[in-house]
Amino acid sequence: MQPRRQRTIARPAEFHGFGFLTGADVTLRFLPAEENHGIAFQRIDLPGTPPIPATLEYVVPRQRRTAISNGVASVELIEHVMAALAGLQIDNCLVQLNAPEAPGADGSSLDFVKTLLEADFTEQSALRDVLVIGDAYSVRGDDDRSEISAGPVFRRTLVVSYELDYGPRSPIKPQLLTFEFSPETFVTGLAYARTFILETEITALKSQGYGSRVTPADLLIFGTDGVIGNQLRAADECVRHKILDCIGDFALLGCDVHGHFRAYRSGHNLNHAICRMVSVARSPLHLLKTPA
Ligand SMILES: [Zn+2]
């Protein structure tokens, strides 16, 4: 497969919402960017602070989400925005926002995808770098109950297999899905899949002052008998969301990646860890560079 050309959006586009964690109203503005710019987030509520590149080097440790910081500004919960950009293969974009957290929207990437599709795309001259995974890598979670590995794939593409199993007493049933990435399969198969949380977890978060505006209509909240006050969009929506998270987190590599990732209960921190492994290991032989 030949490297593809980089893309940006044809015109600015906006989305309004509120942050699931902080509850802050936020306007997210997507702006076109020149080739080789990559994705960067800029806090316009902190005037004068530079954009934060959305790459592994700027990721800061967080629980159950992806956040980036350049030391003077940070942005929380970028993963569903990143997934929308990566899913549509928009490589160069400046994302401005006026709050510390990206909008939660409906808990999926769907609203960001719709906003970006309305902005349309422009193909640029430079080719997109591709990291081709040639070796095998693996990383386990500290609790030894989660794992993600990466290895070569014969077809020059990105494949993610995800197994979700929270045990026999969990209201979230075991799910396994193998997903072969393309913009088309992303839009039809992943973009709509919403984030999920247990009722006990959201209760604990609210007692700590987080998630005050979140209701069962905003995302999937699982009680002991299943989803509360909402309906699944697909029987395997949860595993689809976990793969959506992977697509957003893998985009922190700043290039396309061709390989087969196999994840078992992996979350954002493990996703970042496997990306760091394949990133450090990449050599000129593995990276199809843009011709001069
Ligand atoms: Zn997510």
The reported pTM is 0.95
pLDDT at 155: 84
CA 33 to chain centre: 20
Q: How many domains does the chain have?
A: 2
Would residue 268 show up in a list of annotated catalytic residues for this protein? yes
pLDDT at 156: 87
With contact defined as beta carbons under 8 Å apart, do 1 and 44 qualify? no
Q: Give the C-alpha distances (Å, rounded to integers) separating 152 from 40, 45, 125, 137, 244.
A: 29, 43, 28, 10, 20
In a domain, 265, yes or no: yes
119 and 174 inside one domain: no
136 and 101 inside one domain: no
- The predicted-structure confidence for 97-146, as pLDDT tens digits, reads as follows 999 999 999 999 999 999 999 999 999 999 999 999 999 999 999 888 99
- The predicted-structure confidence for 217-265, as pLDDT tens digits, reads as follows 999 999 999 999 999 999 999 999 999 999 999 999 999 999 999 999 9
Q: How far is the CA of 289 from the centre of ligand 1 (A)?
A: 31
81 and 155 inside one domain: no
146 and 64 inside one domain: no
In a domain, 21, yes or no: yes
Domain that holds residue 239: 130-193+218-288
Which residues fall within 8 angstroms of residue 265, CB to CB, at 6 or more apart? Answer: 141, 145, 146, 147, 163, 164, 165, 166
Which of 83-87, 109-113, 167-171 comes out lowest in average pLDDT? 167-171
Q: How far is the CA of 202 from the centre of ligand 1 (A)?
A: 15
DSSP string, 216-231: TTTSEEEETTEESSS-
148 and 40 inside one domain: no
CATH number at residue 33: 3.30.230.20
67 and 104 inside one domain: yes
CATH number at residue 232: 3.30.1700.10
In a domain, 206, yes or no: no
108 and 174 inside one domain: no
Structure tokens at 274: 């496997």
Which of 71, 93, 127 lies at the terminal end of a domain, its last residue? 127
In a domain, 158, yes or no: yes
Which of 127, 142, 169 lies at the terminal end of a domain, its last residue? 127
Residue 238 CA to residue 73 CA, distance in Å, equals 31
42 and 152 inside one domain: no
Which of 76, 107, 127 lies at the terminal end of a domain, its last residue? 127
Q: If you average pLDDT over residues 22-33, what whole number do you get?
A: 97
Q: How far is the CA of 276 from the centre of ligand 1 (A)?
A: 20
In a domain, 70, yes or no: yes
In a domain, 37, yes or no: yes
Q: Which of 241, 268, 272, 286 is catalytic?
A: 268
